[in-house]
A and B are shown apart, each in its own frame.
Chain A
């Protein structure tokens, strides 16, 4: 089945230690998104790639970076995780504007110790 796969499902990292989360998709969608979701809160868009074009949200901290080496893969890098970065990180994909809805992965739960 075509899908969006996030690895790992759970990630524990030390305060200040760089961490990378990965997302892959078999849908051949041209747009990929990273959302941060804290407990009982709305998912918050961090950035998205429209094809190779990177679009950063104005309030996304500089601590968060992303790479998209090809259509299928996208990475979220957190350069110096703080305790406030503990959250579920969701990757999503869509074809163009996404009016048919986004397809989400199962998420990576990040814990910072």
Chain B
């Protein structure tokens, strides 16, 4: 069965303190690995899709990378507005379903 495990569950950073979030996955035939941002009381907002090992995507202070077993979301010099829960999800080939991890709750203090 597909599994997605995110760590840590919660992360507190000072503004400007770079760090990485981890997403370990087990899936039979990966179509794509997805990163979303979720603010409290709102729906997830799409950030990136990664399709194959070695791929990297960037958006502002965020960079996502992918290996055959895990993905990292690197946050460079975070700001308080980056505070949110970051969700990772995997989708299998020939299947529309997207299986989510429980997320990492990021807090960035000014």
Contacting A at CB under 8 A, from B73-101, are 87, 91, 96-101
* B16 within 8 Å of A (CB atoms): no
Partner of A106, one of B36, B42, B98: B42
Partner of B34, one of A31, A50, A101: A101
Find out whether the CB atom of A31 lies under 8 angstroms from the CB atom of B43: no
**Residue among A31, A90, A100, A104 facing the most chain B CB atoms (10 A cut-off):** A104
List 24 A–B pairs whose Cβ atoms lie within 8 Å, in order of A's numbering.
Answer: A6-B43, A40-B103, A42-B102, A42-B103, A43-B44, A43-B87, A45-B97, A88-B41, A91-B43, A94-B96, A98-B96, A98-B98, A99-B31, A99-B32, A99-B91, A101-B36, A102-B44, A102-B98, A104-B36, A104-B43, A105-B43, A106-B42, A107-B42, A109-B41
